[in-house]
Structure 1
Amino acid sequence: MRAGVQASMGSVGDSFDNALAENLWMIIKTECIRGRVFATRAEANLALFEYIDGFHNSRRVQKRLGYLSPIEFEEKHYTDQAAAERGNLKPRKPHLTS
C-alpha cells in the first residue's frame, strides 16, 4: 500500500478474519483479563497461555459441539464409535468337531 500499512488479517475488503479475531480478543478480555492486575508481563503472558490452551481450546463449551467442550465431544465420539463397532460384531458360531 502507498502509506506502508498492511492488513493485519484477511485480504483487502474481507472483514471476516478481522471479525473473528476481534471476537476472540473480546472473549479473552471478558473472561480472562478484565478486573485482574498483573505484576509483570510474564505473569500476564502466563495467564493468557493458561486461559487459551488450558480452558478456551479444550474445556470451554461450544454451541457447534452441542454445548459440549472439545474434550467432552471427543470422548463422546470415541465412546459412540466403540459402541457402534461392538454392535457390528457378529457372534462366532462354535466349531463342531466329530
Structure 2
Amino acid sequence: MAIRVRTPKAGGIVHADHGVQFTSWVFTQKIRSAGLLPSFGTVGDGLDNAMMESFWSSMQIELLNRKKWRTRVELAHGIFEYIEVFYNRRRRHSSLAYATPHGYDLAHNIQPLIAGS
C-alpha cells in the first residue's frame, strides 16, 4: 500500500525486523522491484526496532486496551482508524518536532496516504 500510494523514489530504504513476513522472498522482491533497498537490523538488538515497539505500545494503551472487540472486522477497522486517522493525522510526535506524520508529509511535499485509494 505504501509503495502504491506514496510512489517513493528509487534508492529509498525500507527497514524491517526479521519477522517471517519481512524476510520472505515475495516481500523482498516487491521492495526491490520498486527500486527500494531492504534493510534488516541485527537479531536480538533491542534498539534496532525501538521506534516500532514504541508505536505498538502507544496503540496498545491508546486503543486496544480501552475496548473489547467483538469481531476481527471491528478490530481491523479500529486499527485502521487509529493509524490512518488518529496516529498519522492528529497525534503529535516528538521525533517530528511535534508535528503529526500527516503534517510532516505536507510540510515536506510528501504525498500523504489517503484511505480507500
TM-score, with normalisation over the residues of structure 1? 0.56
Which of 41, 46, 71 does residue 10 from structure 1 map onto? 41
The structural deviation recorded for 1:74 is 5.3
Which of 68, 71, 80 does residue 49 from structure 1 map onto? 80
Which is helix-richer, 1 or 2?
1
The structural deviation recorded for 1:53 is 1.1
Letter in 1 for 2:97: G
Which is strand-richer, 1 or 2?
2
Between the two proteins, what is the percent identity of the paired residues?
A: 35
The structural deviation recorded for 1:54 is 1.2
1:19 and 2:39 aligned: no
The structural deviation recorded for 1:15 is 2.4
Q: Which has the larger radius of gyration?
A: 1
SS of alignment partner, residue 99 of structure 2: coil
Residues 10 and 17 of structure 1 are in contact (CA less than 8 Å); yes or no, is this contact kept in structure 2?
Answer: yes
TM-score, with normalisation over the residues of structure 2? 0.48
| Structural RMSD (CA) | 2.5
Aligned residues: 72
Gaps of 5+ in 2: 1-17, 20-39, 110-117
Residues 87 and 100 of structure 2 are in contact (CA less than 8 Å); yes or no, is this contact kept in structure 1?
Answer: no
Matches within 5 A, 1:1-98: 7-8=18-19, 10-73=41-104
Gaps of 5+ in 1: 1-6, 79-98
Higher relative contact order (CA closer than 8 Å, sequence separation 6+): 2
The structural deviation recorded for 1:76 is 5.9
